[in-house]
Homo-oligomer: A and B are copies of this chain.
Amino acid sequence: MTITDNNHRPLRSNGETRVFPIVGDPIAQVRSPAFLSDILAARGENALVVPALVAPADLDAFIAGHKGVGNSGGLVITVPHKAAALAHCDAPSERAAFAGSVNVIARMADGRWRGDNTDGLGCLNGVAAEGFDIAGKRALLVGVGGAGAAIAYEILARGAAHLAIHEIDTAKRDAMIARLDGLFPGRVSAGSADPTNHDFIMNATPVGMRPGDPLPVDAARLVPGQFVADAITKPAETPLIAAARALGCATMPGAGMFNAQAEILVDTLLSGATRD
């Protein structure tokens, strides 16, 4: 499965189609409706992911209304609604509660709605798909915004020996370290741009999206054997990933995280309870 700009695939819409909106503002540029619908079609599901352009002021009413749709059972949430949507979950996962945001909600068999944040899952699944096992390793994470917080949680939840956090907003960094330390005591500390002595280096900042951006870590100090990952999907190969590859490091560019996350989102949507 690759990222494609799909415009015309054999999807279907009939009375039995399950319909999962992805709610955001703006929404026109979002690739997930096509990408997730393609995965559903490839799995043989009569189901679609469709865009829903909803302003922040209208989000509560939209989600409340969608909860009554019997042939859905799930909803994908994107920018700027991920934090606000958490309040609509009766049963957020621990990682969603930690991140303070959800990007998918699904109806449970008992009628309650669970919410999840798949940024960390997608990232670490993508890394695992490249053959790297985070358990017991030393990790350096750059950036603890929305996605970064979820990735930090997942790195530790999967058994990394230690996590160092590099974040230019030091107050934000220290608050995140304190929160993580409450859940995973003694395994997290402040880091720097120097990747030396880390097995895994992850960029969760936007640095590298624009031409001329600096590198998020001191790439000259990377050595073969380190695994370097980036959350950025455009460009497909960031300067960090290019530098790491040139030095012989294994890598996962943003597409690996995006693709792994798409499969998790589809699994979660399809797990939602429906009625006839």
- Cβ-defined contact, A33 with B52, below 8 A: no
A61–B58 CB distance below 8 A? no
Given A65-B62, A65-B63, A68-B61, is A13 in contact with B276 using a C-beta cutoff of 8 Å? no
Return the CB mask of A97-139 against B: 1 if under 8 Å, else 0: 0000000000000000000000000000000000000000000
Number of copies: 2
| Given A11-B11, A27-B71, A64-B65, A50:B19 Cβ within 8 A | yes
Shortest CB–CB separation between residue A76 and chain B, in angstroms? 12
Whether B15 contacts A29 by the Cβ 8 Å rule is yes
Q: A13-B48, A19-B50 are in contact. Are A55 and B68 (CB under 8 A)?
A: yes
Interface check A2, CB cutoff 8 A: no
Interface residue A210 (Cβ < 8 Å from any Cβ of B): no
In angstroms, Cα B13 to Cα A31, docked, is 10
Contact A50 B51 (CB under 8 A): no
Are A58 and B54 touching (Cβ within 8 A)?
Answer: no
Residue contact A48 to B48, C-beta cutoff 8 Å: yes
The reply on A155 being an interface residue by CB < 8 A is: no
Most central of A13, A19, A51 by chain B CB within 10 Å: A13
Q: Assuming A8-B12, A10-B10, is B50 touching A50 (CB within 8 A)?
A: yes
Cα distance A17–B58 in the bound complex, in angstroms? 20
Assign chain A's interface to a size class: 35 or more
Nearest residue in B to A5 (C-beta to C-beta)? B14
Whether A276 contacts B9 by the Cβ 8 Å rule is no
- Does B70 lie within 8 Å of A54, measured CB to CB? yes
Interface residues, chain A, with chain B CB atoms under 8 Å away? 6-17, 19, 21, 25-34, 37, 48-55, 57-59, 61-72, 275-276
Extra contacts, 18 of them, besides A11-B13, A54-B68, A61-B65 (Cβ < 8 A), are A9-B10, A9-B12, A10-B10, A13-B48, A14-B34, A14-B51, A15-B51, A52-B69, A52-B71, A53-B71, A55-B68, A55-B70, A61-B61, A62-B68, A62-B69, A64-B65, A65-B65, A65-B66
Q: Which 10 A-B pairs have the closest CB atoms?
A: A65-B65, A58-B68, A53-B70, A14-B34, A53-B71, A15-B30, A62-B65, A19-B50, A11-B11, A13-B37
